[in-house]
């Protein structure tokens, strides 16, 4: 069996698929922690893209941006989980549908 | 963990738990790791000793008292026989009194060794445990030579003693005293001056002298709070009035002070034993005791300073039967244990085991 | 083909086996050392002076019933010991035992891989190890393991920061992330880094004690408090895996400390010519000797010190070690730029 | 020969774990699949010659962020089983549709662009060979991208303060 050599396109397809899974997770699941995790999946998809292009172009700038994405993801996780904990203390729920006090 | 708001967690410590010193059960309510409530559940070792005693004749009871505080059997014996002697107004020969003091103080050393070892083990210093047991072994050897038993001695009789000391025993006791005095500095090196040990024990389970009295603490646990209450000094029994010794007291009333008090008591016990050996009078070991022991009708309470605190016996005799009408023990462990819920309040789970160790309880005595 | 795949595979096999065997016998060593400290004999019955005790233990653990509590999360309960064991083992991939050794006439480098992010690899691997403990605490569905799991994760994460600070200091000193490169840098600097960076050395050692859950920081498995912590509900081989992981981690920390601070495979005073006789001893023996000294100190400390309390542990980590680590890093970097 | 094999295996794992993250009911298991997913992504980075990124991925994502998730999930799970029941309403249909459109769009772009000759790997850009990956990334971070780097650190500081304030008990 011979496999075609791996090109950046393969990585882009992988990243697209992962991104789509993330979208499905965000839209379908009601558990806010899972939604946050789906967002992490999407961020990872983006990172794969960045790394793939960095490899293709022989340029490390893509990796630098991936590192920035990771930093932002860390900040997002910390604040997001803080909000979840604070919310859970008051409402005893993790369901996003019940988080509607700001809705009009 | 106080960062996160969690509801209270109920944690059941024991009755099978490595550091509840037997079968104590402590139900803790925790906020994170902080204790907000504590219920002490006892009774897992209840054998009905008090009731049993009401169906044995007076000499047989000595053997049952062994089984209460089984790490300080000789002190239990002493408390009981003195109570009966008081009830019968018996005169005990001075030689017997002196030997009783020696036995009781050796017993105190053995009991404190066990306490030190387990207490240190609870806080994680495993070497001290084995060192302390090494010294306790020497005391047990001495007891074995005296009465043949290593744990439950049955070492006293109403009106005196069953046996005189074996020849050469006093020399061995003296040698042991020298050994002990050399070994205690080793413990001090491992614990007293150890930064971690001090951090773990200072400020833990602080109780003021007044509170300690109000809650009924006795023994080293009370003296750690700065109350110089020692029955050996305050209401001398046996031959204690004839010996010169100090009552060490603490200042802060925390676990560290209770530790220091008990450590100092090692030295004081050695001091008493040496004086007793030096002044050991000649003479009989049993006084004038009737063949059939039947105390006159009446009741009495008599307390001694057991290693763990005030050990009191309340005995009622109806003057007719061969056994006590009512037999009641005031065990030091039981009364000291009452302080636990109060002491652990606001401390961490790790401190709970330190405090159980610091109160020095024996469940055989708590449950009886 | 032979050199690219076979040789590394062979080395992996040898190192893994060596690690597992030495870990097994470390249990005996620990029991013996602590016994001697405590004026006891330790295991004496199995084999001469109890030397075969680990084999008896292993047989016992293998034959024991592997209990899974009814209410446990079965999959996670099974995975947790594996998750804690694997990082401990793969960490050995970057540890250089010697630059080269001649085996049957071949010159073979005595390390599996010298990757250019070796030190970071180690840090990231140890950060995975914490999962085993958290998951064990969670999956047991029991309160003592849960408390232990929370304690452990908080402890590991806090001390990891201090340790990582120290490693960064060492990277600044040597200018490389490669483990082999760091040893070479010490050779070129004519001094072991333990003497240049004593603060880093001490902090790394304390942090290492905490990260391997060893006394006096063995809170997650404090038997007297939490009845065995996160392995309360484990039995048989799964329990053994936790145990082996702990010992393997001890060896990893010792080996890393040796590499970073005691010059790895270098003999003492590698630049003093008249001590050349010491070259007679191969480098990997020096490495193992130095590692052994660390392991011994680990055991010695366990026999001597009482246990810290949870809040004191956190205070030590956050208020002493981390600020010291940051200060050390700043001073190191400043001096490096100035000199 | 080996590279495609490794890539397809990793890709299968990444997609598989991704699907499991989204579909599993038990939140703790979700978090575990997420870690597995991240580890596989880290290996993809190694394939892409981005070792430093791979290590950072493991260190920060798997060792830090996800531990935080696990912490929160465990703390929240203490009281009640996870109420992660997906409601299959209009919104979830929209979600699937959106994902499908997304996937189709990207695939289309890829197919069309693949038909054309690939850009000749922009060899004019500074080559990274000879120097380690870490050094290159480090040089870039501390020279051209110093300001974003500092902004990122400020962001982390603010996030840290914010998280502490949010998670603290009522003062």
ipTM of the complex as predicted: 0.78
pLDDT at C105: 65
Backbone phi, then psi, for B29, in 5-degree steps?
-105, 120
Once rounded to an integer, what is the mean pLDDT over residues C155-169?
Answer: 83
Chain B neighbors (3+ CB pairs < 8 Å): A, C, D
If you classify domain D1-84 with CATH, what class do you get?
mainly alpha
H or E element at residue B29: strand B25-31
Q: What are the DSSP calls for D47-94, one per residue?
A: HTT-HHHHHHIIIIIIIIIHHHHHHHHHHHHTTS----PPP-SHHHHH
B11–C144: do the CB atoms touch at under 8 Å? Answer: yes
Domain ranges of chain C: 69-338
pLDDT at A53: 84
Number of Cβ atoms within 10 Å of the Cβ of B353: 27
Question: Are the beta carbons of C160 and C127 closer than 8 angstroms?
Answer: yes
Q: Which residue of A has its CA nearest to B7?
A: A89
Task: Report chain C's mean pLDDT, rounded to a whole number.
Answer: 81
**D73 pLDDT exceeds 60?**
yes
Which residues, in sequence order, are CB contacts of B92 under 8 Å at separation 6+? Answer: B85, B100, B159, B160, B287
Q: Which residue of B has its CA nearest to C148?
A: B33
pLDDT at D51: 80
B349–C225: do the CB atoms touch at under 8 Å? Answer: yes
Give me Rg for the CA atoms of chain A: 18
Q: Which of D75, D80, D160, D166 to mutate to test binding with chain B, by most B CBs within 10 Å of its CB?
A: D75
Q: What is the rounded distance in angstroms from the CA atom of residue C220 to the CA atom of residue C312?
A: 14
Q: What is the rounded distance in angstroms from the CA atom of residue A76 to the CA atom of residue A96?
A: 17
- Whether chain A lies against chain C with 3 or more Cβ pairs closer than 8 A is no
pLDDT at D57: 86
**D130 pLDDT exceeds 50?**
no
Distance from CA of B7 to the nearest CA of A (A): 10
Q: Which of B199-208, B260-269, C88-97, C112-121 has the lowest mean pLDDT?
A: C112-121
H or E element at residue B36: strand B34-41
Query: Does residue A34 form part of some domain?
Result: yes
Distance from CA of D117 to the nearest CA of C (A): 34
DSSP secondary-structure letter at B313?
E
Helix (H, G, I), strand (E, B) or coil at C100: strand
**D56 pLDDT exceeds 80?**
yes
Q: What is the rounded distance in angstroms from the CA atom of residue B300 to the CA atom of residue B317?
A: 9
Q: What is the rounded distance in angstroms from the CA atom of residue D14 to the CA atom of residue D39?
A: 9
Once rounded to an integer, what is the mean pLDDT over residues A6-34?
Answer: 81
Tens of pLDDT, residue by residue over A33-77, are 888 888 888 899 998 888 888 887 777 788 888 888 888 888 888
Q: Which residues of A touch B7 (CB under 8 A)?
A: none
Query: Does residue A103 form part of some domain?
Result: no
Which stretches within chain D are classed as H helix? 2-23, 27-47, 51-56, 66-77, 90-115, 133-142, 146-167
Q: Which of A64, A84, A86, A90 to mutate to test binding with chain D, by most D CBs within 10 Å of its CB?
A: A64
Closest by CA to D25, choosing from D72, D102, D82, is D82
* Domain count across chain A: 1
Question: Are the beta carbons of C277 and C267 closer than 8 angstroms?
Answer: no
How confident is residue A3, by pLDDT bands cut at 50, 70 and 90?
Answer: low
The residue range of the domain holding A73 is: 8-95
Q: Which residues of C touch B19 (CB under 8 A)?
A: 224-225
Q: What is the rounded distance in angstroms from the CA atom of residue B194 to the CA atom of residue B58?
A: 49
pLDDT at C128: 84
Q: How far is CA D31 from CA B110, D12, D17, in A?
A: 54, 19, 10
pLDDT at D59: 85
Q: What is the rounded distance in angstroms from the CA atom of residue A20 to the CA atom of residue A28?
A: 12
Question: Are the beta carbons of B20 and B38 closer than 8 angstroms?
Answer: no
Helix (H, G, I), strand (E, B) or coil at B155: coil
Once rounded to an integer, what is the mean pLDDT over residues C58-86?
Answer: 83
How confident is residue D123, by pLDDT bands cut at 50, 70 and 90?
Answer: very low
Q: Which residues of A touch D65 (CB under 8 A)?
A: 40, 73-74, 77
Question: Are the beta carbons of A62 and A51 closer than 8 angstroms?
Answer: yes
**D127 pLDDT exceeds 50?**
no
Q: Which CATH number characterizes residue A80's domain?
A: 1.10.287.3510
Chain A neighbors (3+ CB pairs < 8 Å): B, D
A81–D68: do the CB atoms touch at under 8 Å? Answer: yes
Residues 67-106 of D with CB under 8 A from B: 75, 78-79
**C87 pLDDT exceeds 50?**
yes
pLDDT at B38: 84
Tens of pLDDT, residue by residue over B240-251, are 888 888 888 888
Query: How many residues are present in chain A?
Result: 104
Helix (H, G, I), strand (E, B) or coil at B230: coil
B·D CB contacts under 8 A: 14
Distance from CA of A59 to the nearest CA of D (A): 7
Q: Which residues of B touch D168 (CB under 8 A)?
A: 3
H or E element at residue B41: strand B34-41
Helix (H, G, I), strand (E, B) or coil at D124: coil
pLDDT at A2: 59
Q: Which residue of B has its CA nearest to A83?
A: B4
pLDDT at B84: 87
pLDDT at C32: 87
Q: What is the rounded distance in angstroms from the CA atom of residue A54 to the CA atom of residue A79?
A: 30
Q: What is the rounded distance in angstroms from the CA atom of residue B278 to the CA atom of residue B267?
A: 17
Block mean pLDDT (10 aa), chain B, length 368? 54 73 80 80 85 85 85 87 86 86 89 88 83 88 86 84 84 88 84 83 83 86 84 83 84 86 88 87 82 83 87 86 86 87 82 84 83
Q: Which residues of D touch C73 (CB under 8 A)?
A: 26, 28
pLDDT at D117: 53
**D171 vs B: CB within 8 A:** no
C·D CB contacts under 8 A: 67
pLDDT at C315: 85
Q: What is the rounded distance in angstroms from the CA atom of residue B282 to the CA atom of residue B95?
A: 6
B3–D164: do the CB atoms touch at under 8 Å? Answer: yes
pLDDT at C5: 73
Helix (H, G, I), strand (E, B) or coil at A103: coil
**C145 pLDDT exceeds 60?**
yes
Distance from CA of A5 to the nearest CA of B (A): 51
Distance from CA of C280 to the nearest CA of B (A): 40
Higher pLDDT: D1 or A54? It is A54
Question: Are the beta carbons of D22 and A24 closer than 8 angstroms?
Answer: yes
| B9-36+59-367 CATH fold | Cytochrome-c3 Hydrogenase; chain B (1.10.645)
Q: Which residues of C touch B130 (CB under 8 A)?
A: 38-40
Question: Are the beta carbons of D123 and A59 closer than 8 angstroms?
Answer: no
**D90 pLDDT exceeds 70?**
no
Q: What is the spatial order of strands in the sheet that B9-13 belongs to?
A: B9-13, B25-31, B34-41
Domain ranges of chain B: 9-36+59-367
Tens of pLDDT, residue by residue over C28-39, are 888 888 888 888
Residues 61-90 of A with CB under 8 A from B: 85, 89
Closest by CA to D69, choosing from B83, C153, B123, A42, is C153
Q: Which residues of B touch D (CB under 8 A)?
A: 2-7, 9
Q: Which residues of B touch D79 (CB under 8 A)?
A: 6-7
C306–B125: do the CB atoms touch at under 8 Å? Answer: yes
Question: Are the beta carbons of D18 and D67 closer than 8 angstroms?
Answer: no
B33–C147: do the CB atoms touch at under 8 Å? Answer: yes
D75–B6: do the CB atoms touch at under 8 Å? Answer: yes
C138–D74: do the CB atoms touch at under 8 Å? Answer: yes
Q: Which of A2-16, B301-315, C70-84, C264-278 has the highest mean pLDDT?
A: B301-315
**C205 pLDDT exceeds 70?**
yes
Q: Which residues of B touch D78 (CB under 8 A)?
A: 6-7, 9
Once rounded to an integer, what is the mean pLDDT over residues C245-260?
Answer: 86
Distance from CA of D31 to the nearest CA of A (A): 8
**CB nearest to A37's CB, from D30, D50, D149:** D30
B·C CB contacts under 8 A: 85
Q: C-alpha B315: how far from its chain's center?
A: 20
H or E element at residue B311: strand B309-317
pLDDT at B1: 36
Evaluate the CA torsion angle D23, D26, D32, D34 in order and state its sign: positive
D62–C124: do the CB atoms touch at under 8 Å? Answer: yes
Distance from CA of C222 to the nearest CA of D (A): 21
Q: Which residue of D has its CA nearest to C146?
A: D74
Pairing mode, if any, of strands B9-13 and B25-31? antiparallel
């Amino acid at each position: 069996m011979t496999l075609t050599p791996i090109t950046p396109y393969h990585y882009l397809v992988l990243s697209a698929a992962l991104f789509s899974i993330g979208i499905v997770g965000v839209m379908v699941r009601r558990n806010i922690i899972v939604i946050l995790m789906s967002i992490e999946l999407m961020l990872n998809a983006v990172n794969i893209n960045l790394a793939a292009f960095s490899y293709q172009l022989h340029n490390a700038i893509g990796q630098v941006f991936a590192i920035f994405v990771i930093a932002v993801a860390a900040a997002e996780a910390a604040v997001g989980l803080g909000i979840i904990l604070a919310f859970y203390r008051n409402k005893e729920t993790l369901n996003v549908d019940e988080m509607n006090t700001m809705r009009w | 963990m106080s960062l996160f708001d969690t509801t209270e967690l109920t944690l059941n410590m024991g009755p099978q738990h490595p550091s509840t010193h037997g079968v104590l059960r402590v139900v803790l309510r925790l906020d994170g790791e902080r204790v907000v409530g504590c219920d002490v559940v006892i009774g897992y070792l209840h054998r009905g000793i008090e009731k049993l005693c009401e169906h044995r004749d007076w000499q047989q009871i000595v053997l049952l008292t062994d089984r209460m505080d089984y790490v300080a059997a000789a002190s239990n014996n002493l408390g009981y026989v003195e109570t009966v002697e008081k009830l019968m107004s018996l005169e005990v020969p001075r030689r017997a009194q002196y030997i009783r003091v020696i036995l009781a103080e050796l017993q105190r050393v053995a009991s404190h060794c066990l306490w030190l070892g387990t207490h240190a083990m609870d806080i994680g210093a495993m070497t001290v445990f084995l060192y302390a047991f090494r010294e306790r072994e020497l005391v047990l050897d001495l007891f074995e030579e005296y009465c043949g038993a290593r744990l439950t001695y049955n070492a006293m009789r109403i009106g005196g003693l069953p046996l005189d000391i074996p020849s050469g025993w006093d020399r061995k006791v003296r040698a042991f005293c020298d050994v002990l005095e050399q070994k205690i500095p080793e413990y001090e090196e491992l614990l007293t001056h150890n930064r971690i040990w001090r951090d773990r024990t200072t400020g833990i389970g602080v109780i003021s002298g007044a509170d300690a009295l109000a809650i009924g603490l006795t023994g080293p646990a009370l003296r750690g709070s700065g109350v110089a209450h020692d029955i050996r000094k305050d209401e001398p029994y046996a031959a204690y009035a004839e010996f010169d010794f100090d009552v060490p007291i603490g200042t802060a009333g925390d676990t560290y002070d209770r530790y220091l008090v008990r450590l100092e008591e090692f030295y004081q016990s050695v001091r008493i034993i040496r004086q007793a050996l030096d002044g050991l009078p000649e003479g009989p070991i049993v006084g004038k005791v009737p063949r059939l022991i039947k105390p006159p009708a009446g009741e009495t309470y008599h307390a001694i300073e057991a290693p763990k605190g005030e050990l009191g016996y309340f005995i009622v005799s109806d003057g007719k039967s061969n056994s006590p009408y009512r037999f009641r023990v005031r065990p030091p462990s039981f009364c000291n244990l009452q302080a636990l819920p109060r002491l652990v309040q606001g401390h961490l789970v790790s401190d709970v085991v330190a405090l159980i160790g610091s109160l020095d309880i024996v469940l055989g005595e708590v449950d009886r | 083909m032979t050199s690219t795949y076979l040789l590394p595979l062979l080395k992996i096999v040898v190192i893994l086996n060596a690690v597992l065997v030495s870990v097994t016998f470390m249990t005996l060593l620990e029991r013996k050392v602590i016994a001697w400290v405590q004026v006891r004999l330790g295991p004496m019955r199995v084999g001469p002076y109890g030397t075969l005790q680990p084999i008896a233990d292993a047989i016992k653990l293998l034959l024991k019933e592997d209990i899974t509590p009814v209410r446990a999360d079965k999959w996670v309960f099974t995975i947790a010991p594996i998750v804690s064991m694997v990082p401990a083992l793969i960490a050995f991939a970057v540890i250089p035992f010697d630059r080269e050794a001649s085996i049957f006439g071949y010159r073979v480098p005595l390390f599996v891989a010298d990757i250019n992010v070796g030190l970071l690899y180690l840090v990231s691997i140890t950060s995975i190890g914490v999962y085993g403990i958290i998951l064990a605490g969670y999956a047991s569905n029991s309160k003592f393991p849960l408390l232990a799991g929370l304690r452990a994760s908080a402890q590991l994460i806090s001390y990891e920061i201090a340790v990582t600070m120290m490693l960064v200091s060492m990277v600044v000193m040597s200018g490389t992330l490669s483990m082999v490169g760091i040893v070479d840098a010490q050779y070129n600097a004519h001094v072991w880094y333990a003497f240049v960076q004593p603060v880093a050395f001490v902090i790394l050692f304390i942090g290492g004690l905490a990260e391997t859950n060893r006394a006096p920081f063995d809170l997650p498995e404090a038997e007297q408090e939490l009845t065995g912590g996160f392995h309360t509900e484990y039995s048989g081989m799964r329990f053994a895996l936790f145990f082996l992981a702990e010992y393997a981690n001890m060896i990893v920390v010792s080996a890393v400390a040796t590499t970073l601070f005691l010059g790895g495979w270098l003999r003492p005073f590698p630049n003093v010519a008249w001590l050349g006789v010491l070259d007679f001893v191969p480098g990997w023996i020096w490495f193992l000797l130095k590692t052994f000294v660390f392991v011994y100190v680990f055991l010695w400390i366990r026999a001597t010190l009482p246990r810290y309390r949870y809040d004191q542990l956190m205070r030590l980590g956050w208020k002493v070690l981390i600020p010291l680590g940051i200060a050390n890093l700043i001073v190191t970097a400043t001096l490096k730029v100035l000199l | 020969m080996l590279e495609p094999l490794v890539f397809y295996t990793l890709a299968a794992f990444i997609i598989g774990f991704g699907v499991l993250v989204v579909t599993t009911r038990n939140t703790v298991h979700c978090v575990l699949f997420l870690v597995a997913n991240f580890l596989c992504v880290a290996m993809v980075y190694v394939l892409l010659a981005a070792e430093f990124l791979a290590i950072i991925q493991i260190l920060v994502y798997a060792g830090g962020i996800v531990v935080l998730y696990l912490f929160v999930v465990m703390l929240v799970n203490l009281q009640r089983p996870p109420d992660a029941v997906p409601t299959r309403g209009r919104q979830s249909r929209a979600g699937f549709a959106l994902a499908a459109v997304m996937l189709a769009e990207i695939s289309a772009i890829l197919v069309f662009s693949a038909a054309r000759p690939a850009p000749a790997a922009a060899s004019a850009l500074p080559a990274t060979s000879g120097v380690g990956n870490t050094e290159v990334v480090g040089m870039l971070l501390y020279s051209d991208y110093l300001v974003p780097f500092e902004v990122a650190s400020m962001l982390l500081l603010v996030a840290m303060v914010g998280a502490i304030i949010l998670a603290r008990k009522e003062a």
